[in-house]
Amino acid sequence: MSILSVQNVHKRFGGLRALNEVNLEVEAGTVHAIIGPNGAGKSTLLNCFVGRLEPDTGTVTFDGKSLLGLKPHEINQAGVSRVFQTPEIFGDLSLLENVMIPAFATRDGAFKMNAWRAVDSENSLHDKAMGMLADVGLAEKAGEIASHLSRGDKRRLELAMCLVQDPKLLLLDEPTAGMARADTNNTIDLMKRIAKRGITMVVIEHDMHVVFSLADRISVLAQGTVIAEDLPDGIKGNPKVQEAYLGGAHL
């Protein structure tokens, strides 16, 4: 069953055609990778999912409801969380504070400010945030200032900030960009653990080691058009993909 459905999406920027009749179905509980050369339209497509861009034509449906016309925070409240190419964290706050901020937000966008229940609420959310930090391997650093973290740990912190909101769909834009191989492998392991929870993930990634380690299914964009969609083994052997992505070299 599809949790995210994209139908006939077009997007232009002046004379530049960024997306051309894009169709995409993401099955619930899977990891769906979107790959392609630079300028293929991957980030533009992701921005159409989260309300940062509006397609010129077409539909984007999540969990049976249209996302078009919704503001980014409304899409987030519907159960969609995004991890950006550069980790977006509160650098001057502790790791625990970083995770508690999204934990405080309720699904209707309000905050738990009832004075009679504030203490119990804060204690509960503190425990939830600490549990999430433990899940991503950062509990021992809970009191440290976030800006002092390595890039790999900043990524893990950002994932904790997303996961504490209990998303149904997690969108990841180049989650291992700029990482050393050890941090990349740690991030792959973490994402595999997230996938086992049944959280659907859409991953944009250039590192083929990451893609083939994680993806259940892969879509390939080139010049704004989906030129292939298949299981990982089918993508590896697809001559159109090899030509568009690596100039004919094998993946």
What's the pLDDT band for 4 if we cut at 50, 70, 90? very high
Residue 243's pLDDT band, with cuts at 50, 70 and 90, is confident
Nearest to 193 by CA among 131, 244, 135: 135
> What is residue 170's predicted lDDT score, i.e. its pLDDT?
96
Q: Where are the domains of the chain?
A: 1-71+205-251
What does the pLDDT read at residue 60?
A: 97
Q: Give bridge partners of residue 172 from the DSSP assignment.
A: 83, 203
- Spell 193-209 as b/e; 16+ CB within 10 A means b: ebbeeebbbbbbbebbe
Distance of CA 125 to the CA centre of its chain: 23
CA 101 to chain centre: 19
Per residue in 38-91, pLDDT (tens digit) is 889 999 999 999 999 999 999 999 999 999 999 988 999 899 999 887 888 999
Which residues face 26 on adjacent strands?
4
Pick from 24-38, 49-63, 84-98, 203-217: least confident: 84-98
- 85: which DSSP letter? S
Q: What is the CATH number assigned to the segment(s) 1-71+205-251? A: 3.40.50.300
What are phi and psi for residue 118, nearest 5 degrees?
-60, -45
Which tens digit of pLDDT belongs to each residue from 95-151? 999 999 888 765 445 444 444 444 445 678 888 999 999 999 999 999 999 999 998
Helix, coil or strand: residue 172: strand
Distance CA(4)–CA(51), nearest Å, equals: 14
| Residue 216 confidence (pLDDT) above 50 | yes
What is the arithmetic mean of pLDDT over 205-231? 94
Q: Output the pTM of the full model.
A: 0.88
